[in-house]
Amino acid sequence: MIVTVLSNPNHSRAVNCSLQRQHSQLPAGPARSGSQRPGNAPAARDAPAAQGCGPTAVVRCQQYPPLRALQASAALRGASDEHKKEPWASSSQQHFDSPPAGHQPEQKPQGPHPSYTGQGGQESEDYESEEQLQHRILTAALEFVPEHGWTAEAIAEGAKTLGLSVAAAGLFHSDGSELILHFVSECNTKLSELLKKEQKLVQLGEAEKKPIDEFLRDAVEARLRMLIPYIEKWPQALSVLLLPRNIPSSLNLLTSMIDDIWHYAGDQSTDFNWYTRRAVLTAIYNTTELVMMQDSSPGFEDTWRFLENRVADAMTMSNTATQVQSTGEAVVQGLMGAAVTIKNLAGLNQRR
Amino acid sequence: MAAVRLCRCRCRALLSRSAGALRARRGLAAGPEMHFGFQTVTEEERREKIYQVFENVAKKYDVMNDSMTLGIHRVWKDIFVHKMNPCPGTLLLDVAGGTGDIAFRFINYVHSVRQRQLQRKLKHHQNLSWQEIFESYQKDKFNSLGDSQVVVCDINREMLKVGKQKAQHLGYSEGLSWVLGNAEELPFDDDKFDVYTIAFGIRNVTRIDLALQEAYRVLKPGGRFLCLEFSHVSNPLLSRLYDLYSFQVIPVLGEVIAGDWKSYQYLVESIRQFPPQEELKAMIEDAGFFKVDYENLNFGIVAIHSGFKLHNENTSC
């Protein structure tokens, strides 16, 4: 990712940030679950609430109602486009990133943003937006997590490696929520890519299609293995993810990941099965994650065995469910038949 | 009679504020005519008058702060430093920080964070030899602030004097330096500081845009600008009570405690003349800061504005 800075940031900021969306050279962007304000036009900073942020962001965004209506509407147009295409945009938290431009390389060009200096502005393709910078800082901060935990200190160290001042950690909330959510969404994206690659191999005929229980098992195992480098501090991360402020985002990330796994497993149900399948897999994933937290066996064998058993349980449970249903029906029919017989015997059926 | 006086003050405030806003909108640098409280003076006169105001109040500054705000200013400053959340190794520039309130709080905060860090490191030292533990103690003992430093800069010599005396009295010795300087023309190099703070000082700066540009200049990329200042109360009932308190009680307190009615009259008038939250936010953005936002304390009596310098003019990554 090339980042150069202009000599006149004030004048060109508005136009450049919008152009950056089109020409970004980011790899397939990590899944993000929310946006505060796409940091393009300066007006975007004034009009966060109007851009379709989630309900929790609105409370905070309403603190500064947009003063520059013209620019706000221009930013709105741009931002709402992004939001429409973003499948898992959800309510955002205070300083959470918005989906990076790299995710939608063919976004239609936005009209010239009226910059508040009134100048057309030079065009540069390498201007980095706020979100991308935040993204880079968080990625750099991840390597300091095993030492400092999921805290503002890790973010400060990460910022230092990028050549920024340690005060840049103030861009994020002091309890490290953004760092954790960033990490989770990165893991989810990696998982999606992995599953997509496997699916391609199957389509090309180079690999065999796995049976469902094996597929689910492998997917959950792959996802949980991504936690291994951070396993010591992961309980802290889990507790932060459960804070009321973070629950919408974390829940969103979780459900989209489960949805992904089922999608690649070939689930095409359109009835109530859709819900039961996802609920079951969510339960399997969460319980396995918790087991992994306190697993001290070599290579986490106990966890994988636990996972295998749970998936097997789930499979038999679905069989059991159909059996129970048919047994139930049979029983009901038997009872009905018995009732009719008794009525006949008692002579109540005869017409007089 | 009090009501009439209040109305007159408010009318004058409205007039001078709209005049000032007009000037700003026309894009002219605030011309030779400026406001000093509710009076209109030239730029030079304003600087002189403000210098005199603070020269007069320097000795009683802290006492007056406590009595005017009933001690709440300490809470405001605590919240301010908490919002900064500095980690050890931060270089802070506190502008208009005369008597050192923010600087001392910063030092305390960094000290306690550093203690916690050292404790955590100790916990990991469970299986080291005594020699190694002793060595690490030696290394860390002389670094109780973790290389953090605060530079207190003020334009007024008297305020700096009072600040130095306070530091001596309270026992703050390391990590502190006192510099005489003008916020519109800081005597520092570019890209030096991690955090730039100005608490209850930007109101007295004659050219706020210049001060913001200087702030942008001396901050490192990634550095943070923080401003604590009296601001606009939007709640109408509270606003009336606040006006009543400001114009009736504070100058009287000034006369009684510090023997200086005029300075405190200037103070409350200058609060009314200062741009409200949104306008200041726009000015900070104009100076080049990103992610600018503000937080109201006490319904807008005080507001904390924060912005980040995210890019450097001359670097490319």
Q: Is the pLDDT reported for residue A15 higher than 50?
A: no
- In chain A, what percentage of residues exceed pLDDT 70? 63
Q: Is the pLDDT reported for residue A40 higher than 50?
A: no
CB contact under 8 A, B220 and A164: yes
User: What distance in Å separates the CA atoms of residue A74 and residue B55, rounded to the nearest whole number?
Assistant: 50
User: What distance in Å separates the CA atoms of residue B12 and residue B3, rounded to the nearest whole number?
Assistant: 14
Q: Is the pLDDT reported for residue A250 higher than 80?
A: yes
Residue numbers of chain B with a pLDDT score lower than 70: 1-32, 125-128, 139-142, 312-317
- Residue A20, SS3 per DSSP: helix
Determine contact: B90 vs chain A, CB below 8 A: yes
Average pLDDT over residues A41-46: 41
Ranked by mean pLDDT, which of A65-74, A114-123, B180-189 comes out on top?
A: B180-189
- Residue A34, SS3 per DSSP: strand
pLDDT of residue B142: 61
Query: First vs last Cα of chain B: how many Å apart?
Result: 65
* Torsion sign across C-alpha atoms A161, A167, A168, A171: positive
pLDDT of residue A349: 66
- State the ipTM, two decimals: 0.77
Chain A: closest CA distance from residue B194 (Å) = 6
DSSP symbol at A89:
-
pLDDT of residue A17: 39
pLDDT of residue B140: 63
Chain A: closest CA distance from residue B277 (Å) = 9
pLDDT of residue B163: 93
B145: tokens are 């602030």
- Residue A62, SS3 per DSSP: coil
The torsion region of residue A158 among left (phi > 0), alpha (psi -120 to 50) and beta comes to: alpha
User: What distance in Å separates the CA atoms of residue B259 and residue B57, rounded to the nearest whole number?
Assistant: 9
Average pLDDT over residues A24-36: 41
CB contact under 8 A, A167 and B288: no
User: What distance in Å separates the CA atoms of residue A209 and residue A155, rounded to the nearest whole number?
Assistant: 42
A41: tokens are 């036009």
What predicted TM-score, i.e. pTM, was given to this entire model? 0.70
pLDDT of residue B305: 95
Q: How many CB atoms lie within 10 A of CB B208?
A: 22
* Residues of chain A neighbouring B285 (CB-CB closer than 8 A): 42, 45
* Residues of chain A neighbouring B288 (CB-CB closer than 8 A): 9-10
Q: Is the pLDDT reported for residue A19 higher than 80?
A: no
Query: What amino acid occupies position A236?
Result: Q
pLDDT of residue A127: 60
User: What distance in Å separates the CA atoms of residue A234 and residue A184, rounded to the nearest whole number?
Assistant: 11
Contacts of A58 (CB under 8 A, 6+ apart): A49
B293: tokens are 């936002």
pLDDT of residue B131: 78
pLDDT tens for A305-325 read 999 999 999 989 888 888 989
Nearest residue to B129 (alpha-carbon basis) of B117, B137, B118: B137
Q: How many CB atoms lie within 10 A of CB B8?
A: 11
B92: tokens are 């802070």
pLDDT of residue B39: 80
pLDDT tens for A143-202 read 999 988 899 999 999 999 999 989 999 999 888 999 999 999 999 999 999 999 999 999
Average pLDDT over residues A216-245: 94
**In chain B, residues 258-297 whose CB comes closer than 8 Å to chain A:** 277-278, 281-282, 285-286, 288, 290-294, 296
Chain A: closest CA distance from residue B67 (Å) = 31
pLDDT band at A48 (very low <50, low <70, confident <90, very high): very low
DSSP string, chain B: -HHHHHHHHHHHHHHHHHHHHHHHHTT----SEEEETTEEEEHHHHHHHHHHHHHHHGGGHHHHHHHHHTTHHHHHHHHHHHHH---TT-EEEEET-TT-HHHHHHHHHHHHHHHHHHHHHHHTTTTS-HHHHHHHHHHHHTTTTTT-EEEEEES-HHHHHHHHHHHHHHT--TTEEEEE-BTTB-SS-SS-EEEEEEES-GGG-S-HHHHHHHHHHHEEEEEEEEEEEE-----HHHHHHHHHIIIIIHHHHIIIIIS-HHHHHHHHHHHHHS--HHHHHHHHHHTT-EEEEEEEEGGGTEEEEEEE----TT-B-
DSSP symbol at A92:
-
User: What distance in Å separates the CA atoms of residue A61 and residue A249, rounded to the nearest whole number?
Assistant: 17
What is the overall mean pLDDT for chain A? 74
